[in-house]
């Protein structure tokens, strides 16, 4: 657990919640959701349950993806409270030198509120355009066709959030992290936050923020308290109200939680709740009627499932009064939280094939012609694999029945520490799992040995593109 907490701890029963209900939630997660990474439940401003599935740890930041948008929105709200801009300001007024030669009428009508509500009227999502077209993302966004009158058509648009970040910089002279440090991050005790930037050094806004689970929970608690924190109004209460109500009857996909409407970079939920969320299960869920906040990080493909389990197991458990102490139930909860772990690979540490290939080097090639050189070795319960891909070379260590931290720097892997486990799942098949443990991403690598030949298969748990990578095939040399 983190050594410093600014949210006080309490037992669930003292805050009107049954420990047994939280245990049921955790059991359901372990049975039905493959990769939850962390969970924190706050009631009446007190932490009543928190846990991290090993190898994930309390002190490590986690990639938030689009949950970053809610922090960008908050920066805009604070800047509006300081009189630096308004939601009715035209976007073009902030970037007169970056406008296309012939700005359309609809582009001229685009306001800050349209960026906030994803109703820019653009004919295509600007995210892909700005990332591939050029290094000047503001110009690329402004040149993306606006085929509809702004305000009437919802289209999820991370490029719009980038523009909010650029506007904050334009009106304050500071990037998001610098601007938020004395106004939000510092007062909340959020340290070590990082944010991906565009080629011009502007925080990308719509994604790219990394903070800890506890930081997500404190952010949610700030919103639950209408922007008030320890006697300071950090975020205008009026902004909290506007940002978290449905500004547009948006829908995204077929899941019920994405049919409840969209605010200013927050989604509405069922049961009177709202949330910030990010790809693959990064959640800050605020339940005003229950005076509760739930923070989750994960690597899941079905983002609706964790929310369903919240409504099924936790929502009915929120009582209105303090409950009698339940030492047995609370003890079971403490035990369950302490045993949270993602299962290492099952299999043998060594076998006859391991003895045969120990120390051998394999030259592998995929269909595209990319080459990889690998050499295997075993020592005790650990497997060591030396990998060379072009100019990149690293040694990767896997534990047997445990997670070993190291640097599995495969081409295309996220920039993150990793933890690995491996084992022989049959006589000729060795499998490894690599958790990039500040991200949602897990790579499963399966090596099939047949005589002098090796076939290496790689698969991501989740991805924005294909989860299956091309197989690598080659011979020992």
Q: Give exposure, 95-134, as e/b (b: 16+ Cβ within 10 Å).
A: beebbeeeeeebbebbbbbbbbbbbbbbeebbbebbbeee
What's the residue count for the chain?
477
pLDDT averaged over every residue in the chain = 95
Q: What is the mean pLDDT of the segment spanning 328-353? A: 96
| Res 2 pLDDT > 60 | no
List pLDDT tens digits, range 305-323: 999 999 999 999 999 899 9
List pLDDT tens digits, range 324-338: 999 999 999 999 999
| Res 452 pLDDT > 80 | yes
Look at residue 126 in the predicted model and tell me its pLDDT.
Answer: 77
Segments of 311-391 assigned E as strands: 361-365, 371-379, 382-389
Look at residue 127 in the predicted model and tell me its pLDDT.
Answer: 76
Share above pLDDT 70 across residues of the chain, in percent, rounded to a whole number = 99
Phi, psi of 123 (to 5 degrees): -80, -15
**Cα separation of 62 and 296, whole Å?**
10
Look at residue 367 in the predicted model and tell me its pLDDT.
Answer: 86
| Res 397 pLDDT > 80 | yes
Cβ–Cβ < 8 Å for 336, 50: no
**Closest by alpha carbon to 130, among 163, 153, 155?**
163
Segments of 159-306 assigned E as strands: 194-195, 209-211, 228-229, 232-233, 267-268, 274-278, 282-287, 292-298
Look at residue 133 in the predicted model and tell me its pLDDT.
Answer: 65
Distances in Å between the alpha carbon of 107 and those of 104, 112, 121? Answer: 5, 12, 8
Look at residue 254 in the predicted model and tell me its pLDDT.
Answer: 78
Q: Pairing state of beta strands 442-450 and 468-476? A: unpaired
| pLDDT tier, 340 (very low <50, low <70, confident <90, very high otherwise) | very high
| Res 3 pLDDT > 60 | no
Question: Which domains can be identified in the chain, with CATH numbers?
Answer: 13-338 (3.40.710.10), 352-476 (2.40.128.20)
List pLDDT tens digits, range 234-258: 999 999 999 999 999 887 777 899 9
The radius of gyration of the chain from alpha carbons, rounded to an integer in Å, stands at 24
**Cα separation of 288 and 166, whole Å?**
31
∠ at Cα 126 (65, 201), nearest 5°? 60
Distances in Å between the alpha carbon of 361 and those of 157, 376, 430? Answer: 46, 7, 15
Look at residue 128 in the predicted model and tell me its pLDDT.
Answer: 75
List pLDDT tens digits, range 43-61: 999 999 999 999 999 999 9
Look at residue 279 in the predicted model and tell me its pLDDT.
Answer: 98
| pLDDT tier, 1 (very low <50, low <70, confident <90, very high otherwise) | very low
**Closest by alpha carbon to 162, among 61, 236, 68, 280?**
68
pTM assigned to the model = 0.96
């Amino acid at each position: 657990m983190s050594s410093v907490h600014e949210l006080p701890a309490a037992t669930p029963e003292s805050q009107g919640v049954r420990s047994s209900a939280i245990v049921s939630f955790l059991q359901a997660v372990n049975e039905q959701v493959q990769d939850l990474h962390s969970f924190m439940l706050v009631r009446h401003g007190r932490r009543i349950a928190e846990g991290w599935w090993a190898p994930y740890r309390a002190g490590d930041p986690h990639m938030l993806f689009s949950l970053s948008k809610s922090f960008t929105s908050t920066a805009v709200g604070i800047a509006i409270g300081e009189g630096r801009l308004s939601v009715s300001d035209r976007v073009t007024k902030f970037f007169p030198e970056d406008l296309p030669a012939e700005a359309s009428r609809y582009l001229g009508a685009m306001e800050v509120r349209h960026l906030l509500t994803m109703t820019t009227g653009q004919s295509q999502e600007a995210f892909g355009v700005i990332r591939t077209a050029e290094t000047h993302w503001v110009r690329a966004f402004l040149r993306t066709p606006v085929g509809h009158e702004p305000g009437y058509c919802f289209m999820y648009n991370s490029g719009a959030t980038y523009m909010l970040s650029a506007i904050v910089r334009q009106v304050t002279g500071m990037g998001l992290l610098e601007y938020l440090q004395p106004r939000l991050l510092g007062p909340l005790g959020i340290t070590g936050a990082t944010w991906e930037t565009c080629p011009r050094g502007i925080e990308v806004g719509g994604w790219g923020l990394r903070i800890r689970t506890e930081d997500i929970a404190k952010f949610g608690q700030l919103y639950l308290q209408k922007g008030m924190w320890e006697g300071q109004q950090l975020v205008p209460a009026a902004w909290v109200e506007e940002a978290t109500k449905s500004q547009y009857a948006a829908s995204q996909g077929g899941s019920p939680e994405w049919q409840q409407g969209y605010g200013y970079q927050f989604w509405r939920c069922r049961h009177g709740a709202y949330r910030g969320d990010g790809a693959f299960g990064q959640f800050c869920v605020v339940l005003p009627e229950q005076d509760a906040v739930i923070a989750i990080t994960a690597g899941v493909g079905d983002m609706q499932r964790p929310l369903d389990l919240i409504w099924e197991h936790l929502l009915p458990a929120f009582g209105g009064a303090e409950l009698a102490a339940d030492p047995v139930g609370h003890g079971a909860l403490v035990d369950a939280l302490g045993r949270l772990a993602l299962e290492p690979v099952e299999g043998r540490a060594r076998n006859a094939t391991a003895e045969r290939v120990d120390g051998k080097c394999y030259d592998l090639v995929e269909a595209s012609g990319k080459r990889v050189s690998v050499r295997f070795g075993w020592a005790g319960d650990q497997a060591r694999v030396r990998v060379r891909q072009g100019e990149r070379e690293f040694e990767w260590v896997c534990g047997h029945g445990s997670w070993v931290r190291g640097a599995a720097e495969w081409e295309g892997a996220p920039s993150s520490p990793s933890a690995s486990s491996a084992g022989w799942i049959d006589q000729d098949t060795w499998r490894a799992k690599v958790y990039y443990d500040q991200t949602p991403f897990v790579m499963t690598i399966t090596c099939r040995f047949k005589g002098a030949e090796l076939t290496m298969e790689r698969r991501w748990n989740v991805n924005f593109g294909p989860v299956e990578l091309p197989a690598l095939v080659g011979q020992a040399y």
